[in-house]
Amino acid sequence: MSARAPVRALLVVLGIVILGVFPLVFSNPTTTSIAFFTVVFMVCASAWNMFAGSSGYIALGHAVYFGCGAYALTLLANHLGFAAGWGVFALVPVAGIVAGLIAIPTGLIALRARRHTFVVITIAFMFIFQLAAFNLGFTGGSSGLQPPTPLWSVKTYNDNFYYVIALVLLATVALSWLVRRSRFGLQLLAIRDDEERARGLGVRVGRVKLTAFILSAIPVGMAGGVYAYFLGQIFPQFAFDPLFDLSIALMAFLGGLGTVAGPLLGALVLESLQQYFTVQYGASQAYLIIYGALFLVVVLLLPRGVIPSVEELISRWRSRSGAPEPEPGETGRTGGGVVEAGAR
């Protein structure tokens, strides 16, 4: 790690700089709106991975928290009489907290079940929430809700939203990194590898899983809130969207499940690609074919995701050229090392 640490730090700084200056360099509103959606998905994929990637429980119902965040921000802004503008952004953390609170009962129920059943229960929750949003009185039913719309020029509008979601992204990645390095993160990995043995070794399995589940719901709820405010309207079928669940899972898998950088890379590639196709070909569904085919190729050729596969290539290249291998004690802290341990 000694040789890799500066490279890693450099990449992190570079990433933050690119995130910061992107709308200054590419100021075209179409580009900045694509960038906004991409960062929304980076937040969601990263947060999802914090739970699912580390624990091995593939949750396909995080749209519940996205939608709840979206509705929470909209309802609070409308009922508390927030004027359109910067003030509404103060509700973004509240949207996250609401999502986190909803994750407590849903997580308790879903996590009673093991792997396959867990997947299906999370899907069932997604449909229950979608139905509730369609049919409850205060959600506005199928006509949805409209949060206040700020009267900014197109460019300021996109930029303001972009920087807010970029801040949420930084916080999420920092949290994800801290979890990854912590004892708590190791407990999650132990659960992924062998839940019974982890329990036997004294990991409080139920508590650890639920905590991770709640932690991963909060940023998704915040992203949902910002997303609703950006669009200026929210409908049940877009707030609670089954494709959202699968997309963020796909992004995390593409980049590398269980790594900090993987979901970011996956979301960056897939969401910008999808947005580009949508802008380029409009309502045509042809991008679904490309999206699906790309996905198949990646899953079959790089089953562990891009980042772990690339790291493995680099370390193989290093050992061939005679450079010392990273110490075993430290590989456990890097993304690639632990994934290798899990894949064995």
Shortest distance (Å) from residue 120 CB to another protein: 4
Whether the CB-CB separation of 252 and 48 falls below 8 Å is answered with yes
Shortest distance (Å) from residue 200 CB to another protein: 18
Shortest distance (Å) from residue 72 CB to another protein: 20
The residue length of the chain stands at 344
Q: Dig out the tokens for 47 from the structure.
A: 């947060």
Shortest distance (Å) from residue 339 CB to another protein: 11
Q: Which amino acid is at 104?
A: I
Cα–Cα distance, 245 to 252 (Å, whole number):
11
Q: Which residues bind another protein (CB under 8 A)?
A: 56, 58, 60, 109, 112-117, 119-121, 123-125, 127-128, 131-132, 134-135, 242-243, 246, 249-250, 253, 283-293, 295-296, 299-300, 303, 343
Cα–Cα distance, 169 to 174 (Å, whole number):
8
Whether the CB-CB separation of 38 and 271 falls below 8 Å is answered with yes
Whether the CB-CB separation of 228 and 234 falls below 8 Å is answered with yes
Hunting for tokens 């596969």 — which residue is that? Answer: 309
Q: Dig out the tokens for 275 from the structure.
A: 């947005």
Shortest distance (Å) from residue 196 CB to another protein: 12
Whether the CB-CB separation of 92 and 218 falls below 8 Å is answered with no
Shortest distance (Å) from residue 245 CB to another protein: 10
Whether the CB-CB separation of 44 and 52 falls below 8 Å is answered with no
Nearer to another protein, 182 or 284 (CB): 284
Give the N- to C-terminal CA distance of the chain in Å, as an integer. Answer: 21
Whether the CB-CB separation of 338 and 304 falls below 8 Å is answered with no
Whether the CB-CB separation of 91 and 82 falls below 8 Å is answered with yes
Nearer to another protein, 172 or 274 (CB): 274
Shortest distance (Å) from residue 208 CB to another protein: 19
Nearer to another protein, 154 or 343 (CB): 343
Shortest distance (Å) from residue 262 CB to another protein: 14
Nearer to another protein, 217 or 248 (CB): 248
Which DSSP category does 323 fall into? P
Cα–Cα distance, 56 to 83 (Å, whole number):
43
Nearer to another protein, 281 or 317 (CB): 281
Q: Dig out the tokens for 45 from the structure.
A: 């994929």
Nearer to another protein, 117 or 143 (CB): 117
Q: Which amino acid is at 146?
A: Q
Nearer to another protein, 58 or 166 (CB): 58
Nearer to another protein, 20 or 303 (CB): 303
Shortest distance (Å) from residue 275 CB to another protein: 16
Q: What is the biggest distance separating any 2 CA atoms in the chain, rounded to whole angstroms?
A: 68
Whether the CB-CB separation of 314 and 337 falls below 8 Å is answered with no
Nearer to another protein, 87 or 292 (CB): 292
CA 281 centroid distance within chain: 26
